[in-house]
Structure 1
Amino acid sequence: MVSNEFAIAIMAAGKGTRLKSKHPKVLHEIGGRALLLHVIAAAETVVRADHIFCIIGHESDRVRTAVAATGVQFVLQPEQRGTGHALQMLKADFELSGRPIPQHLLVLSGDVPLIRPETIAAVRDTHLREHAAMTILTAVPADPTGYGRVLRASADKPEVTAIVEQKSLRSDQLSAPEINSGIYCFETAALFARINALTTNNTHGEFYLTDIAAMLVAEGKRVVAIKADSVDEVLGANTIAEMMHLDAAMRLSTAHRLMAQGVTIFRPETCVIDAHVTVGPDTIIEPYVQLLGNTHIGSDSRIRSYSVIQNSRLGDNVLVRNGCILDTSEVANNAILGPYAHLRPESRIGEAAHIGNFVETKKTIIGRGSKANHLSYLGDAVIGDGVNIGAGAITCNYDGVHKHPTIIGDGAFIGSDSTLVAPVTIGAGSYIAAGSSITEEVPEGALALGRSRQTTKPGWVAARKAAAKQNTNS
């Protein structure tokens, strides 16, 4: 395929008034990503990113910024005057920029996030095979009422005779099952030769791209249709409720994909799993787990209920007990977390390490086999192998202005309720006595105590009670 044979235009200019939201419609998220990013990802499987043209309008700067990293091109539609008007802007952009005009143009909607790469490729291939001037992707919902219908010459042939809006259907056409998805492929020369002939002679006063089909049919040009395998993949979202329907469908599809790859997911309908999460075989996901963003979990692991894992990478045979929160962290093979552990960004938990209940880490490296099992805070720390962190121990990393590091050598023992005031280094194999406040370097193999001397006064309680009683009686 030559480089300029195909391009894709994505309609992304609309406001989405019925969402009742101040945010651009195509930037609303399902499956952990903006609607438009899902569509771009599908389009990129068919053409290179620089052959994808996002037609933007409402909040155009925000939309451009949100998807700029994909490398797609942008075309501005300052006034949103319909789908036909959007492609008029694209035609004008080609002419003004001097870009080579592609032989074929595939048109997608930026608010149809479930469209599959296989379906886009099928539209392209049908368009080429049928030598069509226009190819229309259709779907057959359980109830087509309210949708524009695609009428064929006969049920077993691809030729289309018309696209008719619901209100214009004759009584003998009401049972027509196929709806227009708004996804098309055009012979670009045929499209651009007619695009400026569109009129706004309709109820909404807009330029409709569907009118191109009528022009082509009237001129004897070939217009064909292809059905999508699933109606869900061509549905857009005009309300928050509809968007959540698509979100549920995408997440359930993701769960089914993972289960087909050997992952056990108990009650998948209760889990929130983003579309780009990957999980290795023989891992078990319990109910009410959230796996978000660019998260990867290895094989033979178990994620127990109510844990939330975001943008993190977990190795094989990892156990995440109930209620843990992980954000932008790494966990090596055979580690155990929780219950209720909190790994904040840049935490790296070593192989076979244990991070227990109500332990919080931040920007901290935990070495192989090290343990912090209870009620600790470990921030801006590098902790070696085989270290034991007692209950309630904390690193005091912040002086009110700057963060400071704590370094703990291999095999050190940090007693319960110890306070390590950074910057400080605890040598390998050293012991910190429980309840100590450590402010100076501790050499290897040393015992450090940093607590006040205990004073004990035998009989003090009885004497105090007797004195209190005497005062009461006097």
Structure 2
Amino acid sequence: MEDTLIIILAAGMGTRMNSDKIKVLHKIAGKPMINYVLDEAYKISNKVVCVIGHQSDRVKKELSSYKKLNFVYQKDQLGTGHAVMQAKKYIEKHNGPVLILYGDTPLLRNETLESLINKHIKYSAGMTVLTSYLENPTGYGRIIKDEEGQLIDIVEEQDADLQIKRINEINTGLYCFSPNLLADALENLDNDNNQGEYYLPDVMEHIKNSNKIITESANSEEILGVNTREDLAAAAGIIRQRINNKHMENGVTLLDPESTYIEENVEIDKDVVIYPNTHIKSGTVIKKDVIIESNCFIEKSSISNHVKVKHGSVILESSIDKNTNIGPYAYLRPQTKIGSDCRIGNFVELKKSSVDDESKVPHLSYVGNATIGKKCNIGAGTIFANYDGVNKHETVLGDNVFIGSNTTLVAPVKLEDRAKTGAGSVVTRNVESDSIVLGVPARLYKKDS
């Protein structure tokens, strides 16, 4: 398979999407639909060419992680044949099979593509057409075969009579070619049609005079092309089902897979339980025996063993160590780090803060730009006032610090080990270890020896 040249057509805008963004960059389960095609292509070969046109700079930037990807530019979109012509220099110097794909068919599997290529090689075909069978083939070109089952023609919907329209084997538009025959056929391709465009299926007339043309069939689900928002939603549902099935096969319990939204590139260990209506975004890692209750949203975060994330919690670009409870309705904003055996309770918001082992922020508190030591207790209604209107400042708590309810800690401020504040205090100055402060502003009440 490594000697296969793969050409992906991705130049069209996709006007039926009614979007300012080119169609192939619309995301499904966290990544652009063209990435699904590329990922399957690279499982077969590193010789990949992408034909781009509309928003070419944007497409190149989005696909910059594919280091070996070659781009060719199609200035005017004059049909699929014209698109392939733009990659002619790659075709002419290539010896192996040439596979033509589209950037808007994200459901294709590499197993299907490998089967297409293998059959093409086995029968030394000049052109192998990937077909499929549809209950309702309306809108697709029909595959016409002779009595021996050999392909003799492809008839487009607008040219088909009633008898041909009853045929339910359709042309998917995906092909494998012999490179020299394809190059010659492109030379002879014309645009003598009502649209004035160069259609790739028309090369068949040239190739069948020189070599045989065969077909290979694919599952109808895989060949779905995304042309509308409805198509996008349908493809997303299939991909989400594939992702969820993979995790369940690996030992993850999804209480309601239909309402569980897990993106690509999420790692989940076995014996994790995920409740309905949970959204887990790419870049998240979840270790064993975690429970995630309903209506949670987790993005680019790391959750260690035996953590429980309770109902309605949001975790963004944060890490949580083992045996910790989060929520319900907790909000962990980016750069938050929670240690082991901690408790972050209901309606607690943390931002760019760390909470060390066995500490508790039980409920109704805001913690911003803070470092909290081990075995601390933050009372209800505590505010870490980190912003002076111009700059953000840090608050540092040592180990075993106790913060009374409704305390305001005005940063920058530091409370050393075993410091305590009385309820309702406003702390504007550092507090030494073993000291109790209270009042507005907080003053020393007692220092334990």
Q: What is the TM-score when the length of structure 1 is the normalising length?
A: 0.88
Matches within 5 A, 1:208-247: 208-217=199-208, 219-228=209-218, 230-247=219-236
Distance 1:441 1:154, change over 3 A: farther
State the partner residue of 2:428.
439
Question: What value does the CA root-mean-square deviation take over the aligned residues?
Answer: 2.1
Identity across matched positions, percent = 38
Whole-Å Cα distance in 2 between the matches of residues 154 and 337 of structure 1? 67
Conserved? CA contact 1:317–1:333, under 8 Å:
yes
Matched, 1:175 2:183: no
Distance 1:221 1:427, change over 3 A: same
Whole-Å Cα distance in 1 between the matches of residues 198 and 412 of structure 2? 67
Matches within 5 A, 1:85-164: 85-92=82-89, 100-101=93-94, 103-153=96-146, 159-164=150-155
Distance 1:211 1:298, change over 3 A: same
State the partner residue of 1:461.
none
Specify which structure has the higher proportion of helix: 1
Matches within 5 A, 1:413-428: 413-428=402-417
Conserved? CA contact 2:129–2:174, under 8 Å:
yes
State the partner residue of 2:314.
325
Conserved? CA contact 1:163–1:214, under 8 Å:
no
State the partner residue of 2:157.
166
Q: What is the TM-score when the length of structure 2 is the normalising length?
A: 0.93
Matches within 5 A, 1:200-211: 200-211=191-202
Distance 1:415 1:212, change over 3 A: same
Whole-Å Cα distance in 1 between the matches of residues 34 and 242 of structure 2? 19
Q: Look up the SS of the partner of 2:7 in the other structure.
A: strand
Whole-Å Cα distance in 2 between the matches of residues 424 and 233 of structure 1? 59
Conserved? CA contact 2:286–2:303, under 8 Å:
yes
Conserved? CA contact 1:351–1:369, under 8 Å:
yes
User: Structure 2 residue aligned with 1:273, among 259, 262, 265?
Assistant: 262
Whole-Å Cα distance in 1 between the matches of residues 302 and 142 of structure 2? 47
Q: Look up the SS of the partner of 1:368 in the other structure.
A: coil
Q: Look up the SS of the partner of 1:112 in the other structure.
A: coil
Which entry has the higher C-alpha Rg, 1 or 2?
1
Deviation sequence 1:80-105 (CA, Å, 0-9, x none) = 1111101111115778xxxx535322
State the partner residue of 1:185.
176
Whole-Å Cα distance in 2 between the matches of residues 91 and 120 of structure 1? 21
Counterpart of 1:61, as a letter, is D
Whole-Å Cα distance in 1 between the matches of residues 425 and 151 of structure 2? 82
How much has 1:185 moved relative to structure 2?
1.7
Whole-Å Cα distance in 2 between the matches of residues 39 and 47 of structure 1? 12
Conserved? CA contact 2:30–2:282, under 8 Å:
yes
User: Structure 1 residue aligned with 2:77, among 77, 80, 86?
Assistant: 80
Deviation sequence 1:149-169 (CA, Å, 0-9, x none) = 2234467x6x53222212333
Conserved? CA contact 1:75–1:93, under 8 Å:
no
How much has 1:320 moved relative to structure 2?
1.0
User: Structure 1 residue aligned with 2:62, among 61, 66, 69?
Assistant: 66
Counterpart of 2:35, as a letter, is L
Whole-Å Cα distance in 2 between the matches of residues 9 and 60 of structure 1? 16
Deviation sequence 1:131-189 (CA, Å, 0-9, x none) = 2222222221222122112234467x6x5322221233344433333211122222222
Counterpart of 2:115, as a letter, is A
State the partner residue of 2:446.
none
Whole-Å Cα distance in 2 between the matches of residues 76 and 232 of structure 1? 30
Whole-Å Cα distance in 1 between the matches of residues 340 and 119 of structure 2? 52
Greater Cα shift, 304-313 or 161-170: 161-170
Conserved? CA contact 2:91–2:183, under 8 Å:
no
Distance 1:453 1:41, change over 3 A: closer
Q: Look up the SS of the partner of 1:68 in the other structure.
A: coil
Greater Cα shift, 292-301 or 191-200: 292-301
Matched, 1:341 2:330: yes
Whole-Å Cα distance in 2 between the matches of residues 57 and 73 of structure 1? 14
State the partner residue of 2:447.
none
Q: Look up the SS of the partner of 1:70 in the other structure.
A: coil
Whole-Å Cα distance in 2 between the matches of residues 102 and 367 of structure 1? 61
State the partner residue of 1:460.
none
Runs of 5+ unmatched residues, structure 1: 455-474
How much has 1:421 moved relative to structure 2?
1.8
Whole-Å Cα distance in 2 between the matches of residues 183 and 246 of structure 1? 18
Q: Look up the SS of the partner of 1:372 in the other structure.
A: strand
How much has 1:266 moved relative to structure 2?
1.9
Counterpart of 2:153, as a letter, is A
How much has 1:27 moved relative to structure 2?
1.0
State the partner residue of 1:381.
370
Counterpart of 1:91, as a letter, is K
State the partner residue of 1:467.
none
Counterpart of 2:383, as a letter, is I
Q: Look up the SS of the partner of 1:232 in the other structure.
A: coil
Conserved? CA contact 2:91–2:179, under 8 Å:
no
User: Structure 2 residue aligned with 1:52, among 34, 41, 48?
Assistant: 48
Whole-Å Cα distance in 2 between the matches of residues 377 and 102 of structure 1? 64
Whole-Å Cα distance in 1 between the matches of residues 345 and 407 of structure 2? 17
Counterpart of 2:82, as a letter, is H
How much has 1:10 moved relative to structure 2?
1.0
Q: Look up the SS of the partner of 1:233 in the other structure.
A: coil
Conserved? CA contact 2:427–2:441, under 8 Å:
no
How much has 1:129 moved relative to structure 2?
2.1
Whole-Å Cα distance in 1 between the matches of residues 309 and 263 of structure 2? 18
Runs of 5+ unmatched residues, structure 2: 444-449
Deviation sequence 1:428-461 (CA, Å, 0-9, x none) = 222222222222222222223342599xxxxxxx
State the partner residue of 1:458.
none
Distance 1:401 1:154, change over 3 A: farther
